[in-house]
Amino acid sequence: MRAHEAGALHGDIGSRPPWLRPPGDVNALVPELWPRNVARAADGALAVAGLGVRDIAAEFGTPVYVLDEDDLRSRCRDFRAAFPTEDVYYAGKAFLCRAVVRMIAEEGLHLDVCTGGELATALSAGMPAERIGFHGNNKSVAELTRALDAGVGRIIVDSFTEIDRLTALARERGVRPRVLVRVTVGVEAHTHEFIATAHEDQKFGFSLAGGAAAAAAFKILDEDVLELRGLHSHIGSQIFDANGFEVSARRVLALQAQIRDARGVELPELDLGGGFGIAYTTQDDPATPQDLAKRLRKIVDSECAAERLAVPHLSIEPGRAIVGPAVFTLYEVGTVKSVLVGTGGDAAGGRCYVSVDGGMSDNIRTALYDASYSATVASRASAAEPMLARVVGKHCESGDIVVKDEFLPADVQPGDLVAVPGTGAYCRSMASNYNHVPRPPVVAVRDGRARLIVRRETEEDLLALDVG
C-alpha cells in the first residue's frame, strides 16, 4: 500500500498482503514480534515484566512507548557475546536518551552518534568519550570542536571539507584524533535485496569507484595531526541478506590493500556499519547475532586472505536490532469505522479503520518507508472473530497509517488499548509535533516496575517555543 497525496481512494486498498493470514486465535502473540518479557496475563491483558498495560496506561497515559528494559539489555549482551573481540557501537539515531545511554554503557557497548545533540546526550549520561564514534555528513565546526574537546574515540570523516576542518581544529588544540574514512562502496541493501552499483549517488561518504575514498585516506595519512585507524562502510537498513556485506567487505578491503601497496600502511580497523534486520511482521526472519558474527567473520577472513591483509579489528553499528524489538507503543482506540472499499480481496465490501490517539507523529515509518507493523488489542482478550483492520492515527493525512493490515477481534471498540510491537527504533527518534500533537513519553519497565525515562511533551512545551 502506498499512501497517495490525493487521498486513500487513490491508494491500492482492498487487499491484504499474502503473508498475513487469519489467525487461529486472535489473542495469540507471535513471540518473535514482541519484547521478550511480554505475555498475556490471566486477565487477558498484556503485561510486560509482570506489569499490566492497563496500569501503565493509567499512570502514564497513552500513547506511550513501553520499553522492556531487560529485553534491551539482553540484546546488548547477545551482541557482546557474539562479537566478544570486536567493538559493538549502538547506533544512537535509532533511539537515544540518557537512560538508554547508561544501559548500553553498562552492557559494554560503544555508541555511535551523528549530531551535536546526540553527542550532548551521550556525554551528559556519562558515556566514556573514548567509546563514542562520531558520524555525520555535515559536522559543523562547533560539533567537531566539541567532539575533540570531549576526546571522542573515533571520528568517521565524510568529506574533504571535514578533513580540512578537523586538521585545523586538531592543530589548534594540539590533539591527534583517531579517524575512520567512510567509504561509499556502491552497495545498497534493504531487506532481502541488495544492489551493487558502479556509481554511488548519495550524500554519505567518499566514493570508492571515483577514487575519492583513496584520496581521502592518502590526505589523512599526510596530515600529522590525524591518525587514520581504518575504513568504514554502511550499506543500508533492515538487511537480512549477508551478500551485501560480502560485496562491501570485498570492495573496502581492496581499498585497504591499495593503501598498503601505495603507502606501506596496513590500517588496523574496519567498521562494517549496521543495518541488521528485525521482525516487524511474520514475513521477517532475522539472523541471530551469533549467525551474523559467523557470517561477517567468514567474509572478512576470506577477503583478507585474498588480499594478503592481516585481519583488522572489526566493529559494527547495530541500532534497530538492539532497541527496535524491545519497545511497543500503547495506544487507546478512539473511533472504529467501517468503510466500503469496493470489490476484491479480504476487505471486499468493507475495511475497518481503527483510529488511535497517536499516529504518524509517533511512528512515521509506515508513511515514510511503507513499513509493515503488527498490532493486537492489549487491554483484554476477545472471543470475537478476527477481522481485517487498519490502525490509523489522528492526523490530517489519509496516509496517517500506523499498521496497514492486521487481524484484530471484530469487537474492537473505543476505549480498548492497542499495542504495536517493534517500535523502539526510528519512531520516538523521528517523532514530530505534526498537528501540534505533543510527543509521547518513554517508560522503561523492569521487574514489574515502570520508570519514566522520557516524559510526555505538553502543550506548554509546544507553546514555550512559540515566542512570537
Ligand X SMILES: Cc1ncc(COP(=O)(O)O)c(C=O)c1O
Residue with smaller CB distance to ligand X, 57 or 97: 97
- Choice from 230, 273, 286, 409 touching ligand X (CB under 6 A): 273
**Contact status: 318 vs ligand X (CB under 6 A):** yes
Closest CA to 155 of 172, 125, 184, 175: 175
Question: Residues 351 to 410: which contact ligand X by CB under 6 A?
Answer: none
**Contact status: 162 vs ligand X (CB under 6 A):** no
Rounded CA-CA distance 414/186 in Å is 49
Residue with smaller CB distance to ligand X, 143 or 400: 143
CB of 426 to ligand X, least distance (A): 7
# binding residues, ligand X (CB under 6 A): 17
Pair 126, 146: CB distance under 8 Å: no
Closest CA to 277 of 186, 371, 407: 371
- Choice from 194, 206, 276, 328 touching ligand X (CB under 6 A): 276
- Residues classed as catalytic: 396
**Contact status: 35 vs ligand X (CB under 6 A):** no
Candidate segments 207-215, 311-319, 340-348, 409-417, binder of ligand X by CB under 6 A = 311-319
Question: Residues 101 to 120: which contact ligand X by CB under 6 A?
Answer: 112
Closest CA to 181 of 224, 133, 141, 129: 133
The x, y and z cell numbers of residue 169, run together, are 581544529
CB of 447 to ligand X, least distance (A): 28
Candidate segments 7-15, 260-268, 274-282, 350-358, binder of ligand X by CB under 6 A = 274-282
Candidate segments 192-200, 318-326, 332-340, 458-466, binder of ligand X by CB under 6 A = 318-326
Question: Residues 413 to 452: which contact ligand X by CB under 6 A?
Answer: 425
Residue with smaller CB distance to ligand X, 325 or 409: 325
Long-range contacts (CB closer than 8 Å, 24 or more residues apart) made by 350-355: 351/13, 351/14, 351/388, 351/389, 351/390, 352/387, 352/388, 352/389, 352/390, 352/408, 352/412, 353/389, 353/390, 353/392, 354/389, 354/390, 354/391, 354/392, 354/408, 354/412, 354/418, 355/392, 355/393, 355/394
Residue with smaller CB distance to ligand X, 16 or 154: 154
Rounded CA-CA distance 231/253 in Å is 9
**Contact status: 136 vs ligand X (CB under 6 A):** no
**Contact status: 86 vs ligand X (CB under 6 A):** no
CB of 294 to ligand X, least distance (A): 18
Residue with smaller CB distance to ligand X, 86 or 400: 86
